Structure 1
Amino acid sequence: MSKLPFDPIDEARRQWTAHGWNDAAPGMAAVTSIVRAHQILMARVEESLRPHDLTFARYELLTLLSFTKTGSLPLSRIGARLQVHAASVTNAVDRCEQRGLVRRVPHPTDRRTTLAEITDSGRELVSKATESLNREVFSTLGIGGADIETLNGVLKQFREAHGDY
């Protein structure tokens, strides 16, 4: 895809204003910018995870499990922590289980609950994938330290205002 010689979101905002939608123009520009930033970031994340044969959803699952004291969590708690639907958790666990990165184990005290438990292979892979993401994405956003903290604060405020947590 070739680069445009202008910012298309600035142009859309100009058009919004020209059509009399002045009050909505800043919000439209913000939403469009966030959506575009998401596309850019996900492309970078996917590129970084590709050599590890991981999707971001599976990476998040492995990371979450690796951060727990026992290396395991009930499937229902995984969904809540990752803020995804139970079907997404099942799919990610299935795929990781097929690769030997996690295993399903019975809960030691609740027969109705199944745990997803990270394996040594899963720990090794998530460690390597994290190194890649830290180097290729998280540490190279193109936004300076103070600005990134401001952005984090603004996005946290947005998420809280919309009941994200």
Structure 2
Amino acid sequence: MAAVTSLVRAQQIVMARVDEALRPSGLTFSRYELLALLSFSRTGALPMAVASARLQVHPTSVTNTVDRLEAAELVKRVPHPSDRRATLIEITEAGRRVVAQATEELNDSVFARPGLPPQRLRQLLQLLSEFRRAAGDFDIGDTPTHWS
């Protein structure tokens, strides 16, 4: 129980820091994740089903996130050019500006200072990678220390 409690509490601490960093941009973490995914895509647009799979969240969650981002004019829905059944989510220029600003803030205030010295952070990443592999999570490679 102690391990689970510690993991949950650590997640709460990290997410509180992330939420604080995102507050000025008006984004939640799920909205930030979707904007970041779109900003890294080749065309700035993805089918909703692909975004759901890449973010590893239920399609309903993506729909709700898109609704809010669309209301803020950070994304727009566009028809898929070759599949009339599908809808693309496309990041707008305003969305690109917001996600760039939010990424800079996250990099400065959260990712650059994770709360552990580099060696301990590498050890933590190795342990978490082992845990995730054992749980059948997606393949994260043999050397996750490049995330530090």
**Which one of the candidate residues 73, 84, 100 is aligned to 2:73?**
100
Shift of 1:164: 1.8
Aligned to 2:9: 36
Identity of aligned residues (%): 59
User: 1 CA distance for matches of 2:55 and 2:126?
Assistant: 20
Moved more, 91-100 or 141-150: 141-150
User: 1 CA distance for matches of 2:122 and 2:53?
Assistant: 25
Instruction: With a CA cutoff of 8 Å and minimum separation of 6, indicate the structure with the bigger relative contact order.
Output: 2
Shift of 1:147: 1.9
Q: How does 1:55-94 map to 2 (within 5 A)?
A: 55-94=28-67
In structure 2, list runs of 5 or more residues that go unmatched.
139-148
Secondary structure, aligned partner of 1:158: helix
Secondary structure, aligned partner of 1:84: coil
User: 1 CA distance for matches of 2:98 and 2:8?
Assistant: 29
Secondary structure, aligned partner of 2:16: helix
Q: How does 1:1-165 map to 2 (within 5 A)?
A: 28-165=1-138
Query: What TM-score do you get using the length of structure 2 for normalisation?
Result: 0.89
**One-letter code of the match for 2:16?**
A
How many residue pairs align between the two structures? 138
Query: What TM-score do you get using the length of structure 1 for normalisation?
Result: 0.80
Backbone CA RMSD of aligned residues: 1.0
Q: Rg bigger for which structure?
A: 1
**One-letter code of the match for 1:160?**
R
User: 1 CA distance for matches of 2:33 and 2:100?
Assistant: 12
Shift of 1:129: 0.3
Shift of 1:127: 0.3
In structure 1, list runs of 5 or more residues that go unmatched.
1-27
**One-letter code of the match for 2:14?**
L
Secondary structure, aligned partner of 2:113: coil
User: 2 CA distance for matches of 1:31 and 1:129?
Assistant: 30
Shift of 1:146: 2.1
Shift of 1:151: 1.5
